[in-house]
Amino acid sequence: MDKIIVILGPTASGKTSLGIKIAKKFSGEIISTDSRQVYISLDLGSAKVKNFKPKDRTSFQKKMGYCKALGAPHWLIDVVDLKKETFSVGKFKKMADLIIKDILKRKKSPILVGGSMFYIDAVTKGMSFPPKSSIKIRKKLEEKTLKELKIFLKKIDPKAYKKVDLKNPRRISRAIEIKLETGKSILDFKKQDIKYEILKLGVEMPRKKLYEKIDARVDERMRQGMLQEVKDLIKNGVPKEKLIALGLEYRFLTQYLIGEIPSLEEALSLLKGAIHRFVRRQLTWWRKDKEIIWIKNQKQAEKEIGKFIR
């Protein structure tokens, strides 16, 4: 069975830099498992690694978001335009499987790096995905408030209501769409179909230190121009509703810019608190996965990878 490596961890834990070091040492190529780095122009807010696109990229590489960053090949960076398309976990899995096949064919090591739990599980645990919903249903749901969506989902699919992120209107709407279209719960489409032998490494860091890094990183990104990035996205035609639906940095800065949050100071305070809560959700999710080996540094990671590839 083909082998793949996964480096996961909460926001600001250092998994990106570790992934690059591991890719260089073990002849690997990184597949980003970040639900926002797939979007063009979402850079500072998504903590996208600084990269360049080689001029000699093949059509496959262009389509699959191939680039290079700090000497390591990366995939699924800058794939879609948020104005035109909303990326999905189903599309991610299809693309990731094709990329993994390509990497393995060239005798390189696929390394999944990121913190989007559903994206990682889609590849490492295998999932089947429901069909696309009708535009008619989607438009009707877009007219509903978050509160109305939650009430509707609880009524038609109480099982999904207990599992879906109730702060994310897009996730709630998708669960409703699937139930209305197929008669099945979104949870019924998550099935085991493992294709690979997998090593999962989780980057561990004390909670207090992690929160300090998160807060410092938000401040640093603001100095680098994160607010201007959001202003430019709005100016260039990205709907405000889509930015808010992305959550975290894009949500709170957009809400500040449109006047829903009265001051930038309050927006940043809310943002930092929301990232702390998101980290807790990430860790709660991953603590249930007994396949993850938690590591504290590069040396431990290299030791585990050495045993795995042998």
**pLDDT tens digit string along 222-244?**
999 999 999 999 999 999 999 99
pLDDT at 232: 98
- In CATH, which superfamily holds the domain spanning 3-128+191-205+290-309? P-loop containing nucleotide triphosphate hydrolases (3.40.50.300)
Q: Which fold has domain 208-278?
A: Helix Hairpins (1.10.287)
pLDDT at 138: 85
Any idea where the domains of the chain sit in the sequence? 3-128+191-205+290-309, 135-188, 208-278
Nearest in space to 72 (alpha carbons), one of 6, 8, 17: 17
Query: Please, which pLDDT band fits residue 190 given cuts at 50, 70 and 90?
Result: low
Query: Please, which pLDDT band fits residue 119 given cuts at 50, 70 and 90?
Result: very high
Give me 256's structure tokens.
């500040």
Radius of gyration of the chain (CA): 19
**pLDDT tens digit string along 142-176?**
899 999 999 999 999 999 999 888 988 988 998 99
Q: CA-to-CA distance for 198 and 204, rounded, in angstroms?
A: 19
Query: Please, which pLDDT band fits residue 89 given cuts at 50, 70 and 90?
Result: confident
Structural class in CATH, domain 135-188: mainly alpha
When pLDDT is averaged across residues 188-202 and rounded to a whole number, the result is 82
pLDDT at 136: 84
When pLDDT is averaged across residues 210-221 and rounded to a whole number, the result is 98
pTM: 0.83
